[in-house]
Amino acid sequence: MHILWVKMGGLWPSTTGGRVRSLQILSELARRHQVTVVTTQGPGDDPDGLARELSHCHQVISTPYVPPKRRSAAFPAAVARSWLSSYPVDLWKWRVPEVRTRVRTLCDSGTVDLCVADFLFAAANVPMGGPVPVVLFEHNVEFLIWQRLCALESNPVRRALFEIEWRKLRAREADACRQADLTIAVSEDDRRRLEAIAPGMRATAIPTGVDTTYFAPAGHGERADHLVFSGSMDWHPNEDAVAYFADAILPRIRAHVPGVSLTVVGRNPSARLRESASRAGFSLTGTVDDVRPAMAEAAVYVVPLRAGGGTRLKIFEALAMAKPVVSTTVGAEGLSLEPGRHFVAADGPGDFADAVVRLLRDPQRRSALGRAGRALVEASYSWPTVAREFEERCEKVAAQHAHEPGPADRGAHLPRAGSPRHRGSRVMAGEHAEIGWSHHHSRPARPAVERRSA
C-alpha cells in the first residue's frame, strides 16, 4: 500500500508520548509499505533528524508552522475566529491551508491507497469521504481532556471558556469519527467513549507499546527517597498534575519522609511551574536528550494526573525500567494493568501520599512491583506487535474500500488489496521502490525530504 500519514505539530525530536507512538508505528509500516509523511515543524523541531529517523519512508514533507499559543499576540485573534465558527480553538489553530492543499493534491493524484489522520488535529486538513479511505488515529479522546480540565477549574471565567471549548470539541470529534472509514483508539475505554458520542461509527482499539530494549532496568543509580515524574510540561494536564502534586501531595509525604526529593522531567515548563518548583523545593529539568538517567534515579515513579485522555506511555516506560509506580485512576486508565500487582492506584491527596510513603519504606515491595511491571510489558507490549495490529486494520480498510460500491471512479483509484500501487517508472530523488524492507536488508536511501519555506 501507499499510505499517506498526516501529523500536525511535528514528530521529531520524540519529546511527547504521541510522537513516540506515531514514530514507532510509522517505522514499522514503512518497512512493508510505501509511506509518505506530511507534517509541520515549529521551533525546536528537527526535520532533518526526522528524515533520518524515518529513513524507510518514501517521502517526508515538512511545512513550517507555529500555532498561536496562550499569552501570544496571535492567540486572541485565533480565539475570536474560532468563536465565529463551529471549530474549538484547539482545532482552529491547526487548520493550515498549505497542508490541506498538499494532502488533497496527494489524495486526488490516484497514487494513495490510505490516509491516516494522526490525532484529531490532523483531521481538519484531511478530505473525508473522497477517493481515499481515511483512518483517524485517536491517541486521546480530546474533548474529555477539556471536560476534565473544566471540572477542575476554579476561576469562573476560565471555567466558562473551557465549557465552550469541550462542547465544541466533542461535536467536531464526533463528526470526524463518523466521517472516517475507521477510528483507531489506544484503549477499549477510549473506543467506548468515542462510540458513545458518535453512534454508528466504525471503531477499533490497539494497545500502547514500549521499547523494552531502550527502556530497561538500569541496575544502578537509584536515589533514596527520590520521586520522578516525566512528561511534556507544555501539555496542560501534565502541568496541572505537577502543580497539584507540589501543592497537595508533596507536603503530606514530607511530613513522614522529610528528606524526600522530586524531579520533574519534561520540556517547556511554564513560569507557573518554575515558581512552584522554587516554592515547593523540587527540580525541573526542562528538555533532556535522554529521559532514562533521570528515571533510573527514581525510588518511586509518580503519575498524579487528574485530567488527560488516551493512555500514558510514561507508565509503560517506567514499568519497563522496573520502577514501582503510584498513579491516579485517570493516570492509568486504558492500560491493562492490575492495581496492587503492576502498580499502586491512589486517588486523593491523602491516599496518594500514603501510598508513596509506604513504598519508600518498603524496598521489597518496590522490587516486587518493578519485576511484575517489567515482565508484563516485556511479554505483551512490544512496538512491533502493536504496529502489526495497526497495520492489519489499515489493510482491511483499504481492501474494503477497494471493493465497496460507490462513485464510478472510486475503485479505479485502488489497486488489488495488499499490493503496492503501480506507479510507473518515475522515481523521485531519494525514493526507494522496495516495499518489503526488513532488518536483514541494507538500509535504504534517505527519504525525499521536502521542506516548505515559511
pLDDT in tens, 294-342: 999 999 999 999 987 767 889 999 999 999 999 999 999 989 899 999 9
In this predicted structure, the answer to whether residue 416 has a pLDDT above a threshold of 70 is: no
Structure-block grid coordinates of residue 89:
480553538
**Number of domains into which the chain is organized:** 2
CA 191, 418, 179 angle in degrees (round to 5)?
Answer: 35
Looking at the structure, tell me whether residues 328 and 397 fall in a common domain. no
Looking at the structure, tell me whether residues 79 and 169 fall in a common domain. yes
Segment 128-144 shows an average pLDDT of 95
Of 333, 352, 380, the one marking the end of a domain is 380
Separation between Cα atoms, residue 84 and residue 151, nearest integer Å? 25
CATH of the domain at 232: 3.40.50.2000
In a domain, 219, yes or no: no
Structure-block grid coordinates of residue 187:
484503549
β partners of residue 227: 262, 300
* Rg, Å, the chain Cα set: 22
Q: 2-7 and 283-284: which strand pairing?
A: unpaired
305 to each of 271, 295, 359, how far by Cα in Å?
20, 18, 19
Structure-block grid coordinates of residue 335:
492500560
Looking at the structure, tell me whether residues 285 and 398 fall in a common domain. no
Non-local (6+) Cβ contacts of 404 within 8 A are: none
Range of the domain at 19: 2-209+383-451
In a domain, 344, yes or no: yes
Separation between Cα atoms, residue 421 and residue 437, nearest integer Å? 16
Looking at the structure, tell me whether residues 337 and 390 fall in a common domain. no
Segment 365-369 shows an average pLDDT of 98
Who has greater pLDDT, 410 or 398? 398
Helix (H) or strand (E) holding 360: helix 349-360
303 near 328, Cβ under 8 Å?
yes
In this predicted structure, the answer to whether residue 392 has a pLDDT above a threshold of 70 is: yes
Distance between terminal CA atoms of the chain? 31
Of 364, 380, 396, the one marking the end of a domain is 380
Looking at the structure, tell me whether residues 395 and 358 fall in a common domain. no
276-302 residues labelled b (16+ CB within 10 A) or e (exposed)? bbeebebebbeeeeebbebbbbbbbbb
In a domain, 216, yes or no: no
At 177-204, the pLDDT tens digits run 999 999 999 999 999 999 999 999 999 9
Q: Which of 54, 27, 14, 5 is nearest to 388 (CA)?
A: 27
> Which of the four pLDDT bands, split at 50, 70 and 90, describes residue 409?
very low
In a domain, 214, yes or no: no
> Which of the four pLDDT bands, split at 50, 70 and 90, describes residue 123?
very high
Looking at the structure, tell me whether residues 101 and 179 fall in a common domain. yes
In a domain, 65, yes or no: yes
Looking at the structure, tell me whether residues 198 and 236 fall in a common domain. no
Separation between Cα atoms, residue 401 and residue 418, nearest integer Å? 12
Of 380, 400, 418, the one marking the end of a domain is 380
Looking at the structure, tell me whether residues 369 and 390 fall in a common domain. no
Q: What secondary structure does DSSP assign to 387-431, as a single string?
A: HHHHHHHHHHHHHHHHHS--STTTGGG--STTSPPP-TT---TT-
At 376-386, the pLDDT tens digits run 999 889 899 89
Which residue is it, cell 524496598?
A: 363
31-59 residues labelled b (16+ CB within 10 A) or e (exposed)? bbbbbbbbbbbeeebebeebbebbbbbbb
Q: What is the dihedral of CA 157, 161, 167, 173, to 10 degrees?
A: -150
Instruction: Please report the pLDDT score of residue 415 as a whole number.
Output: 37
Instruction: Please report the pLDDT score of residue 380 as a whole number.
Output: 86
Looking at the structure, tell me whether residues 49 and 144 fall in a common domain. yes
Looking at the structure, tell me whether residues 196 and 231 fall in a common domain. no
Q: Which of 377, 356, 241, 228 is nearest to 292 (CA)?
A: 228
In a domain, 218, yes or no: no
Segment 421-434 shows an average pLDDT of 30
Give the mean pLDDT of the chain.
Answer: 87
At 59-95, the pLDDT tens digits run 999 999 998 776 666 666 666 676 667 788 888 899 9
Q: What secondary structure does DSSP assign to 212-278, as a single string?
A: TTTS---SS-PPTTEEEEES-TTSHHHHHHHHHIIIIIHHHHHHH-TT-EEEEE-S---HHHHHHHH
Looking at the structure, tell me whether residues 25 and 131 fall in a common domain. yes
Looking at the structure, tell me whether residues 168 and 249 fall in a common domain. no
Which residue is it, cell 513516540?
A: 20
Instruction: Please report the pLDDT score of residue 414 as a whole number.
Output: 35
Out of 47-56, 156-165, 413-422, least confident range: 413-422
